[in-house]
Chain A
Amino acid sequence: MPSCGDTWLQSSYYQSHLGIYLLHSVVLYITIHYMIILMDADALIKLNHAGILVRVADQLECVIPEAVYTEAVTKGIAAGHADARNIKDIIDLYVEIRQPGTETARMSTIMPPLGAGETAVFDLSLAVTDALIVSDDIQFLNFLKISGRPAITPTVLIVTMVRQGFISPAHAAQSLAKMRPLISQIAYQRAMNELEN
């Protein structure tokens, strides 16, 4: 450690560790990215059902494509689902709706037959720098993994929000319990285990 007489920059401790600090900073810059949340309709519905969508949208930078709004809000309201109105209110307040590009054509050879919302989410992820997709659909997640697009599930988003100080473990546990009927038991159990560790 530097002695009391040295300034921090002159200290031998600093100079001997400068390389390590710089390397550490570069590694952090490369591996840790500030991500913008990009949700599909399934994620919106599940997070809303868990009562945590408002917190996610209020605290984190979130975007969705128009097609996801149509699936989760327009069609939901038309079919008389009260949750759809709640999701509409949250989106109107906090979530940005962006139009995706048309990059899908280039990827069409490997793309499975996804829905309009999922396809738009994928396209938008190519246009939005550092988009972190949130979905709970196995086929979509597998495709995203193959395509090298970063994606997490709603339960992992909740766990990550706890780890990064956005919500308390108790709040997360309550939300996961509410979400439980809509998700796989493996996803629920793993998320609860993560919270306990």
Chain B
Amino acid sequence: MTTMNSVINLRIPEGLLELAELCARGQRTDRSTVLRQWLYLGAEDYILKRLSEGTLSIGKATELLDTTHYDLHNLARARGFEIGADEQAQEYAMEVAESVKLTPRERTRTQ
């Protein structure tokens, strides 16, 4: 889902602006693009942290970053974040598994 970009006013410290200017020259781009890239990097790290803590779902995370599950998995690996069931979730899954019988496809076909 791609939404229209919004324009907002931000107070940015002079030093950070100077740094963005330096970076922009090095990348042959403009200061705004560099600031957007940094904003995005921060947002990605924030989302990966919340994902690994279990306070955001991976489906919602992909929607917020306008990316795919595959890219988010790759990003998590590249940034060293572990995303996936924690001990409590795993415990619940094991409890559930004790009381279920998986349905073979043939069983359903013959019913």
Most buried by B among A83, A164, A186, A190: A186
Q: A50 near B: Cβ within 8 Å?
A: no
Count of chain A to chain B residue pairs whose CB atoms are closer than 8 Å in the complex: 173
Chain A residues bordering chain B, tally (CB within 8 A):
65
* Cα distance A40–B71 in the bound complex, in angstroms: 16
**Within the complex, which residue of A71, A112, A153, A157 is in contact with B69, where a contact is CB–CB below 8 Å?**
A71
* Cα distance A181–B39 in the bound complex, in angstroms: 27
* Cα distance A46–B103 in the bound complex, in angstroms: 21
Q: Which of chain A's residues have a CB closer than 8 A to the CB of B93?
A: 141, 151-153, 155-156
Q: A91 near B: Cβ within 8 Å?
A: no
Indicate if the CB atoms of B103 and A35 lie closer than 8 Å.
Answer: yes
Q: Which of chain A's residues have a CB closer than 8 A to the CB of B25?
A: none
**Within the complex, which residue of A142, A163, A184 is in contact with B84, where a contact is CB–CB below 8 Å?**
A184
Indicate if the CB atoms of A141 and B89 lie closer than 8 Å.
Answer: yes
Q: How large is the interface on B (under 10, 10 to 19, 20 to 34, 35 or more residues)?
A: 35 or more
- The secondary-structure label for the interface of chain A is helix
Indicate if the CB atoms of B70 and A84 lie closer than 8 Å.
Answer: yes
Question: Which partner residue on chain B sits nearest A149 by CB separation?
Answer: B96
Question: Which partner residue on chain B sits nearest A138 by CB separation?
Answer: B54
Q: A139 near B: Cβ within 8 Å?
A: yes
Chain B residues proximal to chain A, CB less than 8 Å: 51, 53-63, 67-71, 73, 77, 82-90, 92-94, 96-97, 99-105, 107-108
Chain A residues proximal to chain B, CB less than 8 Å: 31-37, 40-42, 45-46, 58-61, 71-72, 75-76, 79, 81, 83-84, 94, 112-119, 130, 132, 136-142, 145, 150-153, 155-157, 159-161, 163-164, 166, 181-187, 190, 194
